[in-house]
Amino acid sequence: MKLLLIEDDSELVGQLRPLLREAGYAVEWADNGLDGGFLAGEEDFDGIVLDLGLPRKSGLELLRELREAGKRTPVLILTARDSWQERVDGLKAGADDYLGKPFHAEELLARLEAVLRRHHGQSGNRLRYRGVELDLDRQRAVDATGREVRLTAIEFRLLRYLMLHPGRVFSKTVLSEHIYEEERLADSNVIEVYINRLRKYFGKDFIRTRRGQGYCLERSDD
């Protein structure tokens, strides 16, 4: 999952980035509303964490423009703790949830995960597909026979992304973009290696190859 963090408090970003990475997100950062708005419009992020008080363009303005442009990316706004007006304005402008500053990083992670799950029509912290269950908190999977599979960070990111989008076909390049951060983008052939590892854990038909298009989890049966 690729996240865009739009926040001008670099100290806060310094604290959040490693935690978000640990939770399996690839994080891009913008420290002002203008750059943030540009990135949000140009790239296909899975979620946006948006501070409302930003230099160059306010978070609220950015959010309104994003929604007017038809972008449905889930957005979690960061507001001043005691400003109910900011929260109301943010929700009306199209935010999916809010968090008042200062906050505990754990609450941010939990809210973010809930927002992303709702966006994908999922409830609970486990994803299921063909007997395979993925625990999003513990970053572990259980295969169809009930055996626990410990996943590496990249395996987890890849599996989560595919399980959140059953029925959709993704090219190696697109998968790579949602799993790695820009400066660390892997050769797309590396994706093939990870796909094969997941097949080894969960069976070779678990992930289908569509010739010339990419990979998908088929939606048809369960």
Q: Which residues would be at the binding site for Ca ion (CB under 5 A)?
A: 8, 51, 53
Separation of alpha carbons 63 and 40, rounded Å: 10
Q: Minimum CB separation from Ca ion for residue 17, in Å?
A: 16
User: 164: exposed, middle or buried (C-beta count within 10 Å: 0-12, 13-18, 19+)?
Assistant: buried
Closer of 82 and 222 to Ca ion (Cβ)? 82
Residue whose token pair is 């369960």: 222
Separation of alpha carbons 137 and 15, rounded Å: 20
Closer of 64 and 119 to Ca ion (Cβ)? 64
Q: Minimum CB separation from Ca ion for residue 204, in Å?
A: 49
Backbone dihedral angles phi then psi of residue 52, each to the nearest 5 degrees: -85, -35
121 contact partners, CB below 8 Å, separation of at least 6: none
Q: Minimum CB separation from Ca ion for residue 52, in Å?
A: 7
Distances (CA, A) of 168 to 49, 90, 182, 195, 208: 25, 31, 23, 15, 11
Q: Minimum CB separation from Ca ion for residue 82, in Å?
A: 15
Closer of 8 and 143 to Ca ion (Cβ)? 8
Q: Minimum CB separation from Ca ion for residue 127, in Å?
A: 33
**Closest-CB residue for Ca ion?**
53
Closer of 7 and 113 to Ca ion (Cβ)? 7
Closer of 53 and 203 to Ca ion (Cβ)? 53
